[in-house]
């Protein structure tokens, strides 16, 4: 146990040392961070060859599929129903402000027209269209940001450094060549950042694959430096499950709200960078044919509210089907969340975490002179809110518009809640004396 802990610490140290040292974000990057934080809600899309097998995006390594066999899937990737306009329309109507798309996942297949390898959607599949371009163009047309997920690990390329996953995919270990692999990644990132318009973020994943090899150098200084040179406003986000390294512009958490760690991937400290939590609508990232267990709309709304109350964004995942459609269950969730945000968006977008830390009854968000109490678990007829120093001018039930009685002292305010009118989130708006 001790040994593992030591290994993890030294891995974190050597990684941090290798990140973009002396990084000073450009003014357009600072503005982009604020925009990102104001957006509060994005949709994650995990789509690739793995959708054809319907067992999630890890199927290649989980089933030890030979990389030459896996490539044959590309010949069947026709996705006749893929329509970027329909995807982005449903996502925009859900109230999401950006899309994060898997340009290349761990199976190494590129969903864009890269010149660095013919193992890509245009050259190797009957679909034959640049999915990344269609999505990026459509997002721009509909006013959404586009973020690119980009895997640092690759189970398909023979030159890719071997980590703890992808070891059974039949590659010749003598062909491992980190220099060639990093050149490939830098060339691909250059394509993504020069040929697809403004990119909101590059979202890296896979650092954890080398956690048993603490000396491993991910060359993050070069990767981050390249991104910031090509597009200074582009945010660098890295799903490494550690405290942020220099050169990163936002911090992401996997399957847990900032400060919580129920899934075991989020024990890292919460930084002062903009925060984001990625979570799935069901249990899977990539399409899994047996996973129809989608969370109800109310639960997803409460998750979004929980993220906002902790000062973070929700990046909510959908795994599109192999035919190119978004699952019906996902479309229903998108519509439900959209309906809620249509009515209550002002309590989420452009807010900060409120003055009260998360409580058993719920969370708070704040914008200007308004504090929003998001009551997720109905306490009783009265609610004490420890506002410490803030003076309340008025309290209103959001849905009914009813004025609520309250009394206050230096510790906070006690509000008479009246009738419970709304699920999943009963919102009380406090107007604060400025
Ligand atoms: C994990 C999984 C990866 C997925 C990611 C999304 O890192 O390994 O497959 O893309 O989470 O957060």
pLDDT of 96-105, one tens digit each? 999 999 999 9
> Which runs of consecutive H residues, i.e. helices, occur in 40-167?
59-62, 67-71, 84-93, 121-124, 131-141
**pLDDT value for 325:** 98
pLDDT attached to residue 7: 42
Structure tokens at 333: 């969730």
> Mean pLDDT throughout 153-162?
98
Categorize the per-residue pLDDT at 6 as very low, low, confident or very high, splitting at 50, 70 and 90: very low
297 confidence band (pLDDT: 50, 70, 90): very high
Give CATH for domain 2-351: 3.20.20.80
pLDDT exceeding 90 applies to what percent of the chain? 90
The tens digit of pLDDT for each residue in 298-345 reads 999 999 999 999 999 999 999 999 999 999 999 999 999 999 999 999
What mean pLDDT comes out for the span 98-117?
98
Say yes or no to pLDDT of 11 above 70. Answer: no
Closest atom of ligand 1 to 106 CA is 9
- Answer with the residue of higher pLDDT: 77 or 7: 77
| pLDDT range class, residue 9, cuts 50, 70, 90 | very low
pLDDT of 183: 98
**Mean pLDDT over residues 74-88, rounded?**
98
pLDDT tens-digit series, residues 335-383: 999 999 999 999 999 999 999 999 999 999 999 999 999 999 988 889 9
pLDDT category of residue 17 using cuts at 50, 70 and 90 = low
Q: Identify the CA nearest to 413 among candidates 369, 371, 362, 353.
A: 371
- Calculate how far, in angstroms, residue 201's C-alpha sits from the geometric centre of ligand 1: 16
Provide the pLDDT for residue 419: 75
Q: Which atom of ligand 1 has the smallest separation from the CA of 57?
A: 9
Distances (CA, A) of 94 to 68, 190, 192, 311, 328: 39, 31, 26, 20, 14
**Other Cβ atoms within 10 Å of 272 Cβ, number:** 8
Q: Is the peptide bond before 18 cis (omega within 30 degrees of 0)?
A: no
- Looking only at the bridges linking them, the beta strands covering 312-318 and 275-280 are parallel
The domain ranges of the chain are 2-351, 354-432
Helix (H, G, I), strand (E, B) or coil at 61: helix
Q: How many CB atoms lie within 10 A of CB 269?
A: 10
Q: Which residue has the higher pLDDT, 6 or 166?
A: 166
Question: In this structure, which residue's CA is closest to atom 11 in ligand 1?
Answer: 254
Any atom of ligand 1 within 6 Å of the Cβ of 125? no
DSSP secondary structure code for residue 142 in this structure: T
Decide whether any atom of ligand 1 lies within 6 Å of the 251 Cβ.
Answer: no
With a 6 Å cutoff on the Cβ, whether 205 touches ligand 1 is yes
Residue 251 pLDDT = 97
Whole-number pLDDT of residue 423: 80
CATH of 354-432 given 2.60.40.1180, 1.10.1030.10, 3.30.950.10, 1.10.1740.10: 2.60.40.1180
CB-based contacts of 292: which residues, under 8 Å, 6+ apart?
282, 329
Ligand 1 atom at shortest distance from the alpha carbon of 102:
10
The answer to whether 321 and 51 have CB atoms below 8 angstroms apart is yes
| Backbone dihedral angles phi then psi of residue 30, each to the nearest 5 degrees | -60, -40
| pLDDT tens readout for residues 389-428 | 899 999 999 988 999 999 999 999 999 997 777 789 999 9
Asked whether 138 lines ligand 1 (CB < 6 A), one says no
Q: What percent of the chain has pLDDT over 70?
A: 96
313 lines ligand 1 (CB under 6 A): no
With CA atoms as reference, report the closest residue to 151 among 105, 86, 102.
105
Is residue 166 predicted with pLDDT exceeding 50? yes
- How far apart are the CA of 151 and the centre of ligand 1, in A? 9
Separation of CA 393 and ligand 1 centre (Å): 46
Which of 254, 263, 280, 317 has most ligand 1 atoms within 8 Å of CB, for mutation? Answer: 254
Per-residue confidence (pLDDT) for residue 45, from 0 to 100: 99
The tokens for 275 are 């925060």
Q: Residue 388 has what pLDDT?
A: 86
- At residue 91, the pLDDT reads 99
| Band of pLDDT at residue 16, cut at 50, 70 and 90 | low
**Ligand 1 binding pocket mutation candidate from 58, 285, 319, 320 (most atoms within 8 A of CB):** 285
- Average pLDDT, whole number, for the chain? 94
Distance 205 CA to ligand 1 centre (A): 7
List the one residue out of 306, 335, 340, 342 whose CA is nearest residue 91: 335
């Amino acid at each position: 146990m001790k040994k593992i802990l030591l290994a993890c610490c030294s891995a974190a140290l050597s990684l941090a040392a290798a990140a973009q040292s002396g990084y000073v974000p450009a003014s357009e990057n600072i503005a982009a961070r604020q925009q990102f934080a104001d957006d509060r809600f994005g949709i994650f899309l995990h789509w690739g060859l793995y959708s054809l097998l319907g067992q999630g995006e890890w199927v290649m390594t989980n089933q030890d599929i030979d990389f030459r066999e896996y490539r044959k899937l590309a010949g069947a990737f026709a996705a006749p129903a893929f329509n970027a306009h329909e995807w982005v329309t449903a996502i925009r109507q859900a109230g999401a402000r950006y899309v994060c798309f898997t340009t290349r996942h761990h199976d190494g297949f590129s969903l864009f027209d890269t010149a660095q390898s013919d193992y890509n959607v245009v050259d190797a599949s009957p679909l034959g269209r640049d999915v990344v371009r269609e999505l990026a163009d459509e997002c721009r047309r509909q006013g959404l940001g586009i973020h690119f997920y980009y895997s640092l690990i690759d189970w398909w390329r023979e030159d890719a450094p071997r980590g703890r996953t992808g070891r059974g995919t039949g590659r010749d270990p003598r062909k491992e060549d980190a220099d060639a692999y990093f050149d490939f990644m830098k060339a691909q990132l250059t394509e993504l950042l020069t040929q697809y318009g403004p990119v909101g973020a590059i979202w890296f994943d896979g650092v954890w694959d080398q956690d048993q090899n603490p000396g491993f150098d991910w060359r993050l200084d070069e990767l981050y430096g390249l991104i910031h040179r090509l597009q200074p406003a582009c945010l660098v986000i890295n799903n490494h499950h550690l405290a942020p390294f220099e050169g990163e512009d936002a911090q992401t958490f996997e399957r847990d709200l900032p400060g919580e760690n129920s899934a075991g991937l989020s024990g890292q400290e919460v930084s002062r960078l903009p925060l984001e939590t990625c979570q799935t609508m069901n249990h899977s990232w990539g399409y899994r044919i047996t996973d129809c267990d989608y969370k109800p709309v109310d639960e997803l709304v409460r998750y979004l509210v929980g993220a906002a109350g902790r000062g973070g964004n929700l990046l909510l995942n959908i795994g599109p089907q192999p035919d190119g459609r978004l699952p019906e269950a996902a479309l229903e969730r998108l519509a439900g969340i959209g309906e809620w945000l249509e009515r209550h968006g002002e309590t989420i977008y452009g807010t900060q975490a409120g003055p009260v830390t998360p409580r058993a009854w719920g969370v708070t968000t704040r914008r200007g002179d308004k504090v929003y109490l998001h009551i997720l678990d109905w306490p009783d007829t009265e609610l004490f809110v420890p506002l410490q120093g803030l003076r309340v001018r008025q309290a209103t039930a959001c849905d009914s518009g009813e004025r609520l009685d309250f009394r206050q002292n230096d510790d906070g305010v006690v509000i008479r809640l009246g009738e419970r009118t709304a699920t999943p989130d009963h919102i009380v708006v406090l107007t604060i004396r400025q």
